[in-house]
Amino acid sequence: MNRRTALKLVTVCTLAAASGLSGGAFAADTIKVGILHSLSGTMAISESALEQTALMTIAEINAQGGVMGKQLEPVVVDPASNWPLFAEKARQLLSKDKVAVVFGCWTSVSRKSVLPVFRELNGLLFYPVQYEGEELEKNVFYTGAAPNQQAIPAVDYLLSKDGGEAKRFVLLGTDYVYPRTTNKILRAYLHTKGIQDADIMEEYTPFGYSDYQTIIAKIKDFSSQGKKTAVVSTINGDSNVPFYKELGNAGLKATDVPVVAFSVGEEELRGVDTKPLVGELAAWNYFMSVKNPENTKFTKMYRDWAKKQKLPNADTAVTNDPMEATYVGIHMWKQAVEKAHSTDVDKVIAAMGGQTFKAPSGFTLEMDPKNHHLHKPVMIGEVKANGQFNVVWKTKEPVKAQPWSPFIAGNDKKKDEPEAN
């Protein structure tokens, strides 16, 4: 038995115990919920923590009496950073395991892979990660940010006096749909701010890429031509570790060429010496460092969970934005089921609009009545030497998501609600 399998068994047994179920198994009358996150491969660095957050939240709900008096039974699968396997595992969860809901996916390519399965089988997916927008599915609730809740405000900050008044931009990402679509939106947005194509450099690397010397050298050259330059990074997965290490090796400091990342948070920075990265930026809707009673409870709960589960490096366990979005999504689903008095997908979808939850971000978040996206605050944080973030800018109120970006032609004709399947 390998360590990962052993950890999973420990987790399931612990959940059973936490739920007050005897014999190490769940009672027959439970509500099954699917967890669809990569526990191996290039995305495990980011997704493993979301699996654990989902299990922790399920245990918390079970300890408080469950949902409609029934215990939640998690069904965990590992799609292993393999995009077609996501679709197979989603089909297994919905058809064979008969789960009422699935919490999962990180990359947009994994989400796009499972969408036809959720449509066909009328399943329900909660997707917890920022993404490129350009999608509005009846069977999905998006608890991460749309571009106007992360990417656009981050660029506005870089253009501002506080953000360094950048005049040239490097759009650097992993080569798949999320970075390419986000950068298409950002290029069009930069044009409206007077930034010409000659002052925009766009580069992509494959998943799992690790040799960033050449690209960092190109960024150095691009930034040496007399105009303040900033990097917008949509690098995903474990490639972030060598990217930031090379940035440090090259002596490219935040004061010279700031990097704002959309897929790097506290969890990804655990594997990096953050001292050379002090002052680099990330744009999210939550940071572990925000101070409020809900976040104190959330961070303590996760640290206690990590120790109890004997997770690797449990003593330094951190929380991040997609973990918060996972936590909020599961609680909102619970509220919607109880409002609908049913786990029936169509009834739960109808009950989801307008749900609110007091989130660890310190804001009361609302699921939009129509467009299946959360209203979220936007925050920009600077990396500190200890791998945490100091929030340097945030919105006063949550921002309504725009799934259809106004910077893509033809979107003005699209509806702000899902089409019927």
DSSP letters for 277-319:
GTT-EEEES--TT--SHHHHHHHHHHHHHHHHTT-TTGGG---
Sorting pLDDT into bands at 50, 70 and 90, what band is 6? very low
Gyration radius (Cα) of the chain, Å:
21
| Mean pLDDT score, 53-57 | 98
Q: Mean pLDDT throughout 174-200?
A: 98
Q: For residues 317 and 35, what is the distance between their CA atoms, to the nearest angstrom? A: 20
Strands 364-367 and 374-375: antiparallel
Average pLDDT for the chain? 93
Residue 364 in tokens: 């009361």
Segment 393-400 shows an average pLDDT of 98
| Predicted local confidence at residue 12, as pLDDT | 45
Query: How many other C-beta atoms lie within 10 A of the C-beta of residue 213?
Result: 11
Question: What amino acid occupies position 308?
Answer: K
Q: Please measure the distance between the N-terminal and C-terminal CA atoms of the chain and give it in whole angstroms.
A: 43
- Rounded CA separation 124/412 (Å): 27
What pLDDT was estimated at residue 8? 46
CA distance 159 to 167: 7
pLDDT value of position 27: 53
Q: For residue 28, what pLDDT is reported?
A: 62
Q: Which is nearest to 29 in space by CA: 87, 79, 73?
A: 73
Of 86-90, 102-106, 323-327, 417-421, least confident by mean pLDDT is 417-421
How far apart, in Å, are the Cα atoms of 170 and each of 190, 277, 293, 371? 12, 18, 38, 32
What is the pTM assigned to this prediction?
0.92
Tell me if 164 sits within 8 A of 225, measured CB to CB. no
- pLDDT band with cut points at 50, 70 and 90 for residue 22: very low
Q: What is the pLDDT of residue 310?
A: 97
**Is the pLDDT confidence value at 10 over 70?**
no
The residue length of the chain stands at 421
Mean pLDDT of 156-183: 97
Contacts for 45-48 with beta carbons within 8 Å, 24 or more apart? 45/237, 45/238, 45/240, 45/241, 45/267, 45/268, 45/271, 46/106, 46/236, 46/237, 46/263, 46/267, 46/268, 46/322, 47/106
Determine what percent of the chain is predicted with pLDDT higher than 70.
93
Sheet holding 374-375, edge to edge: 356-358, 364-367, 374-375
Determine the average pLDDT of the residues in 379-406. Answer: 97
Instruction: Find the mean pLDDT for residues 166-176.
Output: 98
What is the structure's pLDDT at 272? 85
pLDDT per residue over 76-112, tens digit each?
999 999 999 999 999 999 999 999 999 999 999 999 9
Between 332 and 28, the more confident residue is 332
Amino acid 305: pLDDT: 98
Separation CA 150–CA 380 (nearest Å): 9
pLDDT tens readout for residues 336-371? 999 999 999 999 999 999 999 999 999 999 999 999
Instruction: Give pLDDT tens digits for 220-279.
Output: 999 999 999 999 999 999 999 999 999 999 999 999 999 999 999 999 898 788 988 999
Q: Is the pLDDT of residue 20 over 50?
A: no
Q: How confident is the model at residue 126 (pLDDT cuts 50, 70, 90)?
A: very high
pLDDT score for 105: 98
